[in-house]
Structures are given as C-alpha cells and as structure tokens.
Amino acid sequence: MYLIVVGLGGIGRSLAGIASENGHSVVVIDRDEERCADILAQYDLLAIAGNATDKAVLEDAGIDRADALVATTSDDALNLMACWLAKRYNVRTLVSIVNQKEHAELFKEVGVRISENPDEIVARSLYVWAENPETQLLASIEGGSIFEVTIRDGAEGVNKTVRETSDVKDMLYIAIRRGGKLIIPSGNVTFQPNDVVTVFTKKESEGRSVEYMDSLFH
C-alpha cells in the first residue's frame, strides 16, 4: 500500500511507524520541519515539510499513485481539504480524524471515513474506569458497548458456568482471558478468579448489565 499520512502529532507518528514497519510505502506531511526530521531519523519513509493543501506538496508526496490518505491533524478544516484534494487525484481510501462532532457531516459528503474525536473516546473509557475500577470500556458502537471485567477471588460468579449466568437480556459474553490463554465462552465453561471477561451489551441495557456483572464478579 502507498500511504500518505497528514500530520505528525502523536497519532500521525504512531500510524506512520506502524505502516512503515509493516512494509508499506509511507509519505508523511507536516508543516513542522523538526517533526519531519525526527521521524526520518526513526523510520524508513519519506517526510515532506509543507502544507498538505498545497498542490505542489501533495504531488511531491506522490498523491497520484497513493492508495490511501489518512488525515490526523487537530485542524478539521485542513483534514477536510486535504482529503477532498486527494479524492480529485483518485486516491481510493480517505480516512480522517474529526475533531469536532459537528463537522462529521461535511467529511461524509466528501466520502471520507471518519474517526470521531479520539481524545473523547479515550476520555470516555477512563471515565467508566474511574467509576468502576474493575470494569473497562473497550469500545462503543452505535447502540452498544464492549466491556472488560476482572473476576475478584471469592466473587459469586466463580465456578458458575457461562450458561448459568446468561440470564440478562441483550448481553453477550465475547471472550475469557485466563493466564495468557483466550477462551471462547461456550455454555459450559466455568468462570475462575482473575479471569478477564469481555462482554457486549446493548446501550439500553447497559446499566442493568454493568450492575449484574458487578454482583456476579466483584
């Protein structure tokens, strides 16, 4: 894959590193020369110091043969315009961070896959954790959430089977991690202390589900 990464903040840097280590051709664009120099010293990729909405910069970056462009800056206007220009060069895959919820619609109109405010995603997960130290929010999708919960020694659910503890509607066990191994939770698997259980629950039943797990595993 020939990938153009716009922006070398924390996310852009990580992305460029991952893609480059996986053997893809990576070009990064950032206004800051120092950031460009830094990443060049670390990875085997191309770095261009310039404005990603500048035609000359995009062409230097090989926009006409790129398979994907991912915009990761904290400036939605820049992300949007860079994606739009890339589209005119027939870049097949366009992905962008969207920093303000309200801008999501514009990106969709241009045909960009968006990842909403990453800071908010992390914050939401920390929030759940601060409230329920044993329960971690792994991901939110429209209509549902995926949690992870660690079973306390002596909890009520210990030694019970998956089947016995599946009473709650709209809740689903996804996986159980036990001492480095991962178990698909078929009905007669029994829960053990220190198991880390991954659970899916519908949004409307989230409160009830968290409560149930609390009573069962803590």
Contacts of its own copies in 126-185 (CB under 8 A): 126-127, 129-131, 133, 136, 138-139, 141-144, 146, 148, 170, 172, 174-175, 177, 180-182, 184
Question: In sequence order, which ranges of 113-205 are alpha helices (DSSP H)?
Answer: 118-131
92 touches its own copies by CB under 8 A: yes
Nearest of 147, 120, 144 to residue 133 by alpha carbon: 147
Q: Give the nearest distance from C-beta 29 to its own copies in angstroms.
A: 13
Nearest of 55, 81, 73, 91 to residue 5 by alpha carbon: 73
Concatenate the DSSP letters of all residues of 80-113 into one string: HHHHHHHHHTT-SEEEEEESSGGGHHHHHHHT-E
Q: Give the nearest distance from C-beta 163 to its own copies in angstroms.
A: 15
Among the listed residues 81, 158, 168, 189, the single contact to its own copies using CB under 8 A = 81
- Provide the mask over 16-45, with x wherever binding to its own copies is found by CB under 8 A and - wherever it is not: -xxx--x-----------------------
215 touches its own copies by CB under 8 A: no
CB 100: neighbour CB atoms within 10 A?
9
Tokens 């078929």 correspond to what residue? Answer: 186
Q: Which is nearer to its own copies, 106 or 158 (CB)?
A: 106
117 touches its own copies by CB under 8 A: yes
Q: Total residues at the site for its own copies (CB under 8 A)?
A: 80
- Provide the mask over 49-78, with x wherever binding to its own copies is found by CB under 8 A and - wherever it is not: ----xxx-----------xx-x-x-xxxxx
Could you tell me if residue 62 is left (phi over 0), alpha (psi between -120 and 50 degrees) or otherwise beta?
left
